[in-house]
Amino acid sequence: MIRAAVASGAALLVLFIAIPLATLYAHLTPGRFGALITSPDALAALRISVVTTTISLSLTLLLGTPLAYVLARERFPGRDLVDALVDLPIVVPPAVAGLALLFAFGKFGLTAPVLNVLHVRLAFTTAAVVMAQLFVGSPFYVRAARAGFATIDRVYEDASATLGMGPLRTFVRVTIPLAMPALAGGAVLAWARALGEFGATIMFAGNLTGVTQTLPLAVYLGLENGDVDLAAALAVVLVTVALAIVVLARLLERRAA
């Protein structure tokens, strides 16, 4: 009796998740989906999403890898505070993140005097999309990379040092390969979070077609304009990508384990 109740509850939750997602795929015929996804608005949103997420992921890897290594290996005053600060964007509402970025880098923000002198405008530009994605996505990579570096036995790095390799060569040729499954998994999650970002982007970058309009923003605009079919087609793309990312992340987690 108890097992039947547990199974029923589990089945209900699975159906609650699966049915709405399935209706997205059932909403459009393949021909209609193909026509919508190749429309100028859809292609523009796809281009912005690909370009901005590629740049934000590159910055995440470049800046997040050394940070994760320091957090995993070093002990210094304020380490716990830095660790908590890096994780904070994961739990902060995206709209709050966007408002914080606007207050910091907007036209009248904290850095406005410096940006004005340099004749640089960040808010409501493509650069703002990258910054929003970096803000919300990078913590997922840092968390995974930090865990990956922490699990590496230092005996391998010590052996590399005895063979004459310097710290940088040891890091690149020994540490990074050993942590690669965790790094790859974190990168996949960070990219997925950046791709699906909505709240921080619309607050800090706006929803400008061909400039700041990513796929999630295009879905929102399609509903706002009454073009439900376009919104559904773009949503199918996002769900399909998300499904592929979940499968890939699971495979990487198993390999890391």
Q: What is the pLDDT of residues 176-188, one digit of tens each?
A: 888 888 898 899 9
The 10 Å CB-count burial string (b at 16+, else e) for 239-253 is eebeeebeeebeebe
Cβ contacts of 161 within 8 Å, gap of 6 or more: 167, 170
Within 80-178, strands assigned E span none
Q: Is residue 52 a contact partner of residue 200, using CB atoms and an 8 Å limit?
A: no
Rounded to the nearest angstrom, the gap between the alpha carbon of residue 144 and the centroid of all alpha carbons in its chain is: 13
User: pTM of the full predicted structure?
Assistant: 0.89
Rounded to the nearest angstrom, the gap between the alpha carbon of residue 155 and the centroid of all alpha carbons in its chain is: 33
82-100 pLDDT, tens digit each: 999 999 999 999 999 999 9
Which helix (H) or strand (E) element contains residue 233? helix 228-256
137 has pLDDT over 80 = yes
257 has pLDDT over 70 = no
Mean pLDDT of the chain: 89
